[in-house]
């Protein structure tokens, strides 16, 4: 009997964004969930400088460097610097940057065969915004998750809100400004926020995740430092009215026929669900499934799928909502096309509660990536 050929998966993690450490935690969880009998996993770490490194234990090596607080400067012992070229004739092979093959510690050698699929867990800018997805498209390599357009639309919170409003979906009050305008005319920006939204409100970078650079502003005197900090992470800034309500989340899985998971509720341990609450403090509560009337849960699930489709997402996404206490309205907050995949992350836990265990979820995402690649590969080339 012929030996079953394992799929070669390029597990990509790290990256240059402020969510580097979150990506490493997600990668470790996915690595543990992927069945070694079905997959040959090639660990590809992207340093904070943007260098691609391969090693048999690349996750551990980048975690150690990140823990030391460094920017991963200089050589990383027992790793091979590699590149993926935007050239489909290369067949999805990783190429040594130095012109030599990987170090002998890599077993089996990772540069001898092409990748069958890339499972990217690179969060934030240059990872979740269509940049990496464009490289995968140029290289002709199937990849997990949304394509170029869906990634870019989902990453930009302000554009996503415009699309949802155009689709008739419920979105809270908000306004958009730029870091440049804030610095050139802070008085005008503060006046617009106070006059149009009032306080409390939330200030966010338009393109970021994991609540990095997000601030709850209770009064005018807190607004300037919040805008200044958010401007450290993006050139476009989003200010939203604070909604007094429950925080709900729903997972979406699929391509042309996406499905929604059960609905979960986040009960923050801090004033809001911030970075420390999500990944480090053990005080947040995730209630799965959320205690909701059946009709409310059904509405959240239906809106999640519509929001997913409106931004042209594919494969996976986590859609976040508010349930306003005073009115009972369900309001869209944001969508994450590469949600967290740590063991404590909401997305895999939502699907676990929906009957899809973590390993099966990873399998399904790989299947969806290959399905989408086959459909695109059947298109006639542009001449």
Q: Mark whether 336 is an active-site residue.
A: yes
Q: CA 179, CA 231: separation in Å to the nearest integer?
A: 5
Report in angstroms the alpha-carbon separations of 326 from 101, 227, 290.
Answer: 63, 28, 18
* Catalytic option among 17, 340, 345, 372: 340
* Catalytic option among 247, 249, 320, 363: 320
Q: Mark whether 100 is an active-site residue.
A: no
Instruction: Give the residue from 88, 95, 159, 146 showing the smallest Cα distance to 120.
Output: 146
Q: Mark whether 98 is an active-site residue.
A: no
Q: Which residue has the tokens 């990496």?
A: 132
**CB neighbours of residue 62 within 10 Å:** 27
* Catalytic option among 210, 211, 261, 345: 210
Q: Mark whether 340 is an active-site residue.
A: yes
Q: Mark whether 334 is an active-site residue.
A: yes
| Angle, in degrees to the nearest 10, between helices 358-377 and 20-33 | 100
Q: CA 169, CA 330: separation in Å to the nearest integer?
A: 10
* Catalytic option among 45, 334, 349, 363: 334
* Catalytic option among 61, 318, 349, 372: 318
Q: CA 96, CA 89: separation in Å to the nearest integer?
A: 16
Beta-carbon contacts of residue 129 (< 8 Å; ≥ 6 apart): 151, 152, 155, 156, 207
Q: Mark whether 255 is an active-site residue.
A: no
* Catalytic option among 336, 345, 363, 372: 336
Q: Which residue has the tokens 């092979």?
A: 93
Question: Helices (DSSP H) in the chain: which residue ranges?
Answer: 20-33, 58-67, 131-139, 148-155, 157-166, 179-184, 186-192, 220-230, 275-279, 294-310, 346-353, 358-377
Q: Mark whether 73 is an active-site residue.
A: yes
Q: Mark whether 326 is an active-site residue.
A: no
* Catalytic option among 279, 301, 333, 372: 279
Instruction: Provide the pairing of β-strand 215-217 with 201-205.
Output: antiparallel
* Catalytic option among 35, 64, 73, 112: 73
Which sequence positions are flagged as catalytic?
Answer: 73, 210, 279, 318, 320, 334, 336, 340
């Amino acid at each position: 009997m012929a030996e079953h050929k394992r799929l070669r998966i390029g597990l990509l993690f790290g990256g240059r964004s402020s969510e580097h450490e979150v990506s490493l935690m997600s990668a470790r969880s996915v690595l543990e969930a992927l069945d070694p009998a079905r997959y040959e996993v090639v660990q590809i770490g992207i340093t904070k400088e943007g260098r691609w490194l391969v090693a048999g234990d690349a996750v551990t090596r980048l975690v150690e460097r990140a823990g030391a607080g460094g920017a991963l400067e200089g050589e990383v012992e027992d790793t091979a610097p590699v590149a993926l070229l935007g050239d489909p004739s290369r067949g999805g092979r990783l190429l040594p940057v130095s012109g030599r093959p990987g170090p002998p510690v890599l077993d089996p050698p990772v540069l001898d065969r092409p990748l069958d699929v890339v499972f990217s867990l690179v969060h934030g800018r240059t990872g979740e915004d269509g940049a990496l997805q464009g490289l995968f498209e140029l290289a002709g390599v199937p990849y997990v998750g949304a394509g170029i357009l869906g990634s870019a639309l989902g990453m930009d919170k302000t554009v996503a809100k415009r699309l949802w409003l155009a689709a008739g979906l419920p979105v809270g009050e908000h306004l958009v400004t730029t870091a440049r305008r804030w610095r050139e005319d802070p008085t005008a920006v503060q006046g617009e926020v106070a006059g149009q939204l009032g306080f409390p409100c939330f200030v966010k970078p338009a393109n970021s995740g994991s609540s990095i650079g997000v601030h709850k502003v209770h009064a005018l005197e807190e607004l300037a430092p919040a805008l200044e900090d958010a401007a450290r992470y993006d050139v476009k800034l989003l200010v939203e009215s604070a909604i007094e309500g429950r925080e709900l989340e729903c997972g979406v899985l699929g391509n042309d026929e996406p499905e929604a998971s059960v609905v979960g509720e986040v009960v923050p341990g801090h004033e809001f669900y911030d970075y420390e609450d999500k990944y480090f403090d053990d005080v947040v509560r995730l209630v799965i499934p959320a205690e909701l009337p059946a009709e409310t849960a059904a509405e959240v699930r239906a809106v999640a799928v519509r929001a997913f489709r409106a931004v042209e997402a594919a494969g996976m996404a986590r859609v976040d909502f508010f349930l306003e206490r005073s009115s009972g309205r369900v309001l869209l907050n944001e969508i994450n096309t590469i949600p967290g995949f740590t063991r404590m992350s909401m997305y895999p836990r939502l699907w676990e509660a929906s009957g899809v265990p973590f390993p099966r979820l990873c399998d399904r995402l790989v299947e969806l990536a290959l399905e989408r690649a086959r459909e695109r590969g059947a298109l006639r080339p542009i001449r």
